Amino acid sequence: MYITSDFDSGNIEVINTDSSPVELAIRQDNNSDFYQWFHFRLEGKVGESYPLRIVNAGKAAYPEGWENYRVCASYDRQNWFRIGAEYDGNTLDFTVELDRPAIYLAYFAPFSWERHLDLLAWAQLDDRVQLQTLGKTLDGRDMSLLTVGDAEAAKHRVWMIARQHPGETMAEWFVEGFLETLLDDANPSAQSLLRDTVFYIVPNMNPDGSVRGHLRTNAAGANLNREWQNPSMERSPEVYLVREKMLEIGGDIFLDIHGDEALPFNFVAACEGIPGYDERHAKLEETFKRAFVAASPDFQTERGYDLDKPGEANMTVGTNWCGHQFRTLALTLEMPFKDNDNLPDPIEGWSPARCQQLARDIFLPIREALKAL
């Protein structure tokens, strides 16, 4: 048996291969205590079973993320299925039965930097798309912004940013689906939106964390979603660069795409705790959520985060900062690492294809919210 993670977003440490189960540990994000993302390949003998144990699961960033969690697995790196796991409060145990010589295992289906570059390259083939590099990350990667639509003529501006937390790959699967729909000439929701709306899309807010196999932080160990009040080129250039662009352009809707480790549901978090939160905010949120519930049985409003008390929002969080700065609708969309328990899929759980479908279904709430501006 051989275990390796020497590739894009790879993350595992092999503690002991002589033991049964084999003992593994997840590596911490660089300069950070956070960890939960893993991604590795196991090679072995076809037909054999390999019991594996992540020994440091209990100390991960979100231990409740392991409850009822099932591991993502793939033989071909295209199709990802789930493998059942046991969590006892300390370790995560699961067993791989090898059908082919090598299997990939990950916290969620990975979205590589190469696929990111392919997505940008594909999108910019469309006349309506501009591609712009805002600047560089600490590791030297590009912060890319896609502008879709006619910025001169547009009445509305919608921002979508994804993957501030790099291990939340569902966020970039979502953006891929969103772009495919937005650029689909046969989709009337997209076509009618593009008549008067321009979209500013950052498919990956955290390139370095993504490639390094981090859960939550950038190369410097910064949790970018706590950097919106005072970002700097030294510690959080990713936020700094995008935030400057936002300040330059402004916006009417801000969507920040995330994944949640613990809750097996799709939901949004709003900015009810910011200073100056008002009826307009509330109405836009309500319009958006009601339309999203109608559009997609994968979205719901029963389960989610506790509401911030008035005035007690953490203003370093992107959504709060945007909602406050631009006095408009700002939402964090959370998708599950596990599954949508209202509509569970026993084989794949929450999956790339479902992220992409949710992105198709977000067009209705966006349209309704824009009407309600």
**Quick one: what does residue 258 bind among Ca ion, its own copies, none, with the CB cut-off 5 to 8 Å set by partner type?**
Ca ion
What kind and span of H or E run contains 260?
strand 253-260
Closest approach of its own copies to the CB of residue 314, in Å: 31
Among 39, 116, 157, 165, binds Ca ion (CB under 5 A): 165
Instruction: Name the residue whose CB lies closest to Ca ion.
Output: 258
**Residue entry with tokens 């591991």:** 71
Contacts of residue 154, Cβ cutoff 8 Å, sequence gap at least 6: 196, 197, 198
Find which of Ca ion, its own copies, none residue 192 binds, CB within 5 to 8 Å per kind. Answer: its own copies
Residues 6+ apart with CB under 8 A from 115: none
CB-count exposure of residue 74 (10 Å: 0-12, 13-18, 19+): middle
Q: How far apart are CA 289 and CA 355, in angstroms?
A: 17
Sheet arrangement for strand 39-43: 2-4, 39-43, 102-106, 70-74, 81-84
Closest distance between Ca ion and the C-beta of residue 164, in Å? 7
Q: How far is the CB of 216 from Ca ion (least distance, A)?
A: 7
- Binding to Ca ion by CB under 5 A, coded x per residue (else -) over 249-268, reads ---------x----------
Kindly tell me which of 127 and 279 has the beta carbon lying closer to its own copies.
127
Report how far residue 110's alpha carbon sits from residue 172's, in angstroms, rounded to the nearest whole number.
9
Residues in contact with its own copies by the rule CB under 8 A = 2, 4, 6-8, 43, 74-78, 100-102, 104, 112-115, 117-118, 120-122, 124-125, 129-133, 136, 139-142, 184-189, 191-192, 291, 294-298, 340, 343, 345, 348, 351, 353-354, 356-358, 361, 364, 368
Contacted by 295, from its own copies, Ca ion, none: CB < 5 to 8 Å by type? its own copies
- 244 as an active site residue: the answer is no
The item of its own copies, Ca ion, none sharing an interface with residue 368, based on CB under 5 to 8 Å by kind, is: its own copies
Of the candidates 272, 334, 348, 368, the residue annotated as catalytic is 334
Instruction: Identify residue 88 by its one-letter amino acid code.
Output: D
Does the protein bind Ca ion through residue 163 (CB under 5 A)? no
Instruction: Kindly tell me which of 1 and 315 has the beta carbon lying closer to its own copies.
Output: 1
Could you tell me the two tokens for 146? Answer: 């896609």
Q: How far apart are CB 31 and its own copies at their closest, in Å?
A: 20
DSSP 3-state assignment of 219? coil
Quick one: what does residue 125 bind among its own copies, Ca ion, none, with the CB cut-off 5 to 8 Å set by partner type? its own copies
CA–CA gap between residue 15 and residue 26 (Å, rounded): 10
Per-residue tokens: 165: 């937390």
CB atoms closer than 10 angstroms to residue 238: 32
136 binds, among its own copies, Ca ion, none (CB under 5 to 8 A by kind): its own copies
User: Nearer to Ca ion by C-beta: 41 or 216?
Assistant: 216
Shortest Cβ distance from residue 196 to its own copies (Å)?
12
Instruction: For helices 318-325 and 237-249, give the axis angle rounded to 10 degrees.
Output: 20
Angle at Cα 238 formed by Cα 233 and Cα 244, nearest 5°? 75
Give the residue with the Cβ less far from its own copies, 212 or 226. 212
- Residues at the site binding Ca ion, with contacts judged by CB under 5 A: 165, 258
Catalytic residue annotation: 334
